[in-house]
A and B are shown apart, each in its own frame.
Chain A
Amino acid sequence: MIHVIQSGVLTTIQDLGRTGFAHLGLSPAGAADSVSYRIANLLVGNVGNAPALEITLLGPTLEFETSTMIAISGSRTSTSLPLNEPFEVAAGTRISVGSLVDGARTYLAVRGGIAVPEVMNSSSTFIPAKIGGLQGRPLKAGNRLAVGKQVAGSDLKLPLGLGVILPLMREASVRVTLSLQSDWFDHGALERFQLQAFTVTDESNRSGLRLHGEPILPANQGELLTEGVALGAIQVPPDGQPIILFVDQQTTGGYPKIANVIAADLPRIGQLRPRDPVRFQVVTIADAVEWLRRQEHALRQAFGL
């Protein structure tokens, strides 16, 4: 058992998400930075989809009843806990994750995974519908977490060359492809979209990141019939301030979409903090898929998969 002494700002149980229910209005949820989540799990020798803790901005304090192998991956923390390498926490020990210093999220995986029942094929906490994780809620002080048996093999993995795949590149441009209503925006608006640095506002969460900058307005103010929206869609409401729709997003929407974050850069969106600058760079779909392929290849190679 793991005792939650302090919960942190927003600590939830996540896995790779809940696919196949968008037609019932459910977004995928799942780890906001899926790459760091997977690294943490791989480091402790878990299967790829084992439930782990997603820690946001300020981490929890946890007490481990029995000796447990854990790993932390994602943002660095204000403590001396090792990052990107597995370590043993002795029975009866408390660890405080501290505050996150260079990203919005970090993942704490325990060998065997956190044992929680699956809801609709996933353990991901989806707060808007109060499902998954621990009764669909973030962790609270006093919660007790059981450790599961989702171990892939006996060996702990010691990765090589993680640097190239870590999603903590908050200064680099976020790569996007053009989307369904990009042609609603004229050349000037598309240029302003790509040339300025937007700021992530405080009203950002797992459902969407609200950005602030010089407004981007479509040339034609048409009415859009509500349609399905893809993960990472960048929609522009009438005030011209873009919103990046994220893992807990609504599945349909009626605002025009100027662009869409590429799949390989979605984990980086999960690391953006309020007040961070964000720049966008338009790339082709072929390049976007190639970068996803390389990211996947690098991750597998680092862990010898």
Chain B
Amino acid sequence: MRMHIASASDSALFISVGNAASLETHRHVISLFHAIEQLRDSRIRNLHPAYASLLIDFDPLRLTHAELAGMVASLAPHPVPPNLETADSIQIPVCYDPEFALDLSSVARHSSRSEEQVIALYSGGDYFVYFLGFAPGFAYLGGLAQELQVPRLVTPRKHVSAGSVGLAGLQTGIYPNDSPGGWQLIGRTPLRMFDPSAEPPSRLQPGDRVRFRRIDRSEYERLARQQEVGR
């Protein structure tokens, strides 16, 4: 796959590997992301992976755009990163209790399915983390069944509770903190998705594979208590 390299700013280089979100561009982005992380080069400050691109923020007093572009070009070809294909999926328990599943009935109506069928379809899916953005620890997950594709809410909610599982277009994601949000909510996980004192602070990393496990309300409460104790 061809890479296109451009300057985003005097301190940032932008590498594009395509114009659309696909599994192929995703794999390429994650490979690049891992390869550059493994350089452990202190002149590189931040990596921003996205659907089909990687933005590299660097110290322009110690590295030039041309030098960095050369480093990136010489990285290829790289092995498939460990968290793609081979690694086990990360299991995320989700409770679909009506108190949490604020938009489940609307998703069911939109997809002409029963709520039970929506939950079964969602729980049967294999997901992958495209990238994190919007908020610390918010992972954009691909792999959602076509049938579950729904629009964003016309009016975003001012308050979405931490752990809420939402759908928007062909993506799904979990709100790591209480925040505003416009995705349609179908359930909630008791797990803390972002914990600054944990290593790593985010439960999900770019490139991770994810599966959702259905839990009932009593297991939700039990796991939520465990999370509190673990803090």
A residues lining the B interface (CB < 8 Å): 19-26, 28, 119-120, 128-131, 177, 179-180, 225-233, 250-253, 257, 260-263, 285, 288-289, 292-293, 296
Partner of A24, one of B6, B12, B54, B200: B200
> Is A25 touching B133 in the complex (CB atoms < 8 A)?
yes
> Is B132 touching A25 in the complex (CB atoms < 8 A)?
yes
Contact A228 B202, CB 8 Å, known A25-B137, A177-B9: no
Count of chain B residues with a beta carbon within 8 Å of a chain A beta carbon: 47
In whole Å, how far is A262's beta carbon from the nearest beta carbon of chain B? Answer: 5
In angstroms, Cα B12 to Cα A261, docked, is: 12
Cβ proximity bits B134-150 to A, threshold 8 Å, 1 near / 0 not: 11111010000000000
In angstroms, Cα B6 to Cα A53, docked, is: 37
29 contacts between A and B (CB under 8 A): A21-B201, A22-B47, A23-B46, A23-B47, A24-B132, A24-B194, A24-B201, A24-B202, A25-B135, A119-B196, A130-B177, A131-B136, A131-B196, A177-B9, A226-B140, A227-B55, A228-B54, A229-B48, A230-B57, A231-B57, A233-B8, A250-B134, A251-B132, A251-B133, A252-B134, A253-B133, A260-B12, A285-B7, A285-B65
Main secondary structure of the interface of A (DSSP, over half): mixed
Known: A24-B136, A129-B135, A288-B10. 17 other contacts (CB 8 A): A21-B201, A23-B47, A24-B194, A25-B132, A25-B133, A25-B135, A25-B137, A128-B136, A226-B50, A226-B140, A228-B14, A230-B8, A230-B55, A231-B12, A253-B133, A262-B9, A292-B60
Measured CB to CB, the nearest residue on chain B to A289 is: B60
Partner of B53, one of A119, A120, A228, A263: A228
Partner of B45, one of A20, A226, A252: A20
Residues on A with C-beta less than 8 A from B105 are none
Asked if B52 is at the interface of the complex by the 8 Å CB criterion, the answer is yes
Partner of B136, one of A26, A261, A296: A26
> Is B137 touching A180 in the complex (CB atoms < 8 A)?
no
Contact A23 B33, CB 8 Å, known A226-B133, A252-B131: yes
Measured CB to CB, the nearest residue on chain A to B55 is: A228
Asked if B155 is at the interface of the complex by the 8 Å CB criterion, the answer is no
Asked if B74 is at the interface of the complex by the 8 Å CB criterion, the answer is no
Asked if B91 is at the interface of the complex by the 8 Å CB criterion, the answer is no
Partner of A226, one of B8, B12, B51: B51
Residues on B with C-beta less than 8 A from A131 are 136, 196
Measured CB to CB, the nearest residue on chain B to A224 is: B19
In angstroms, Cα B206 to Cα A119, docked, is: 21
> Is B48 touching A251 in the complex (CB atoms < 8 A)?
yes
Nearest first, the 7 A-B pairs at minimum CB distance are A228-B48, A228-B55, A252-B133, A260-B9, A22-B46, A230-B12, A288-B10
Measured CB to CB, the nearest residue on chain B to A119 is: B196
Residues 1-25 (chain B) with a chain A CB within 8 angstroms = 6-12, 14, 16, 19-21
> Is B196 touching A120 in the complex (CB atoms < 8 A)?
yes
Residues on A with C-beta less than 8 A from B205 are 23-24
Residues on A with C-beta less than 8 A from B136 are 21, 24-26, 128-129, 131
Asked if B187 is at the interface of the complex by the 8 Å CB criterion, the answer is no
> Is A25 touching B10 in the complex (CB atoms < 8 A)?
no
Residues on A with C-beta less than 8 A from B196 are 119-120, 129, 131
> Is B9 touching A230 in the complex (CB atoms < 8 A)?
yes
> Is B7 touching A228 in the complex (CB atoms < 8 A)?
no
Partner of B50, one of A26, A130, A225, A233: A225
In whole Å, how far is B83's beta carbon from the nearest beta carbon of chain A? Answer: 13
Cβ proximity bits B110-122 to A, threshold 8 Å, 1 near / 0 not: 0000000000000
Measured CB to CB, the nearest residue on chain A to B60 is: A289
Measured CB to CB, the nearest residue on chain A to B48 is: A228
> Is B9 touching A25 in the complex (CB atoms < 8 A)?
no
Residues on A with C-beta less than 8 A from B53 are 225, 227-228
In whole Å, how far is B228's beta carbon from the nearest beta carbon of chain A? Answer: 17
Contact A129 B48, CB 8 Å, known A260-B8, A263-B60: no
Asked if B190 is at the interface of the complex by the 8 Å CB criterion, the answer is no
> Is B47 touching A285 in the complex (CB atoms < 8 A)?
no
Contact A227 B134, CB 8 Å, known A20-B45, A252-B50, A285-B65: no
Residues on A with C-beta less than 8 A from B93 are none
Residues on A with C-beta less than 8 A from B166 are none
Residues 60-103 (chain B) with a chain A CB within 8 angstroms = 60-61, 64-65
Partner of B6, one of A180, A261, A288, A293: A180
Asked if B49 is at the interface of the complex by the 8 Å CB criterion, the answer is yes
Residues on B with C-beta less than 8 A from A120 are 196, 201
